[in-house]
Structure 1
Amino acid sequence: MDVCLLYFEDCPNWKVTDRRLVAIAAEHPEVVVRRKRVETMEQAERVGFRGSPTVLVDGADLFASPDSAAGFSCRVYRTADGLEGAPTLEQLRVALGLTQEVTR
């Protein structure tokens, strides 16, 4: 499974997401994590970058809402504890199909 973490350097939340993805990859060798820094708006539009961090699973952004547009901003994720700058470990596991549901 290909997981690509898209980010821009000035967003602090991509490093949190990266640590969580690394932990998942350590448990599941079929998960391969790549990182791609997005540097221009043209590149953001081309790769489907909807803010930092964006997690693509086999090329699809499983956290994106249908009306979200490409752009440079720090992204916000809805979690059981409120809005956060990164998806939780459990949300990532669900998105990757490694667990069935998020507990509340």
Structure 2
Amino acid sequence: MDFELRTIPGCPNSGPALKLFREALAAEGKDAEPLAVREVTSETEAKELRFHGSPSFIAEGRDLFPAESAPALSCRLYRTGNGLAGLPSPESLRGALHGLDSHE
């Protein structure tokens, strides 16, 4: 299975998101080696990728946190138990990864 972290240039959450993604993949017993990092640099690219902000966690080309908003070259917020944050909680990311098993 292919995994990708999509970010924008200068995103302050890029490093923490990569660490979080690797840890969540390991905790779910998924191979983190095919984890790619892609920097989205234009609005055109954001629209083509259906990119809903940085960071975005992708598995097999699908956003693990589907969004209703229009694609945009921007920061992204996630709902957590403590309100909005620049990263999903470790539990919600693991839950999204765990849900992939039912689609394989």
TM-score range, shorter chain: 0.7 to 0.9
Q: Which residue of 1 aligns with 2:37?
A: 35
Q: CA deviation at 1:91?
A: 1.1
The percent identity for this pair of structures is 35
Q: Which residue of 2 aligns with 1:25?
A: 25
Unmatched 5+ stretches in structure 1: 99-104
TM-score (norm 2): 0.82
Secondary structure of the residue that 1:16 maps to in structure 2? helix
Residue 50 (structure 1) aligned with residue 46 (structure 2): no
Seen in structure 2, the aligned counterparts of structure 1 residues 25 and 97 have a Cα distance that, compared at 3 Å, is closer
Task: Name whichever of 40-49 and 77-86 sits farther off.
Answer: 40-49
TM-score (norm 1): 0.82
Secondary structure of the residue that 1:92 maps to in structure 2? helix
The question of whether the paired residues in 1 share the 8 Å contact of 2:9 and 2:39 is answered with yes
Q: CA deviation at 1:24?
A: 2.7
Secondary structure of the residue that 2:66 maps to in structure 1? coil
Secondary structure of the residue that 1:20 maps to in structure 2? helix
* Runs ≥4 residues deviating over 2 A: 24-32
Task: Please list the CA deviations of residues 28-61 of structure 1 after superposition, one character each: whole Å capped at 9, or x if unmatched.
Answer: 2434311100011111111121110111111111
Q: Which residue of 1 aligns with 2:6?
A: 6
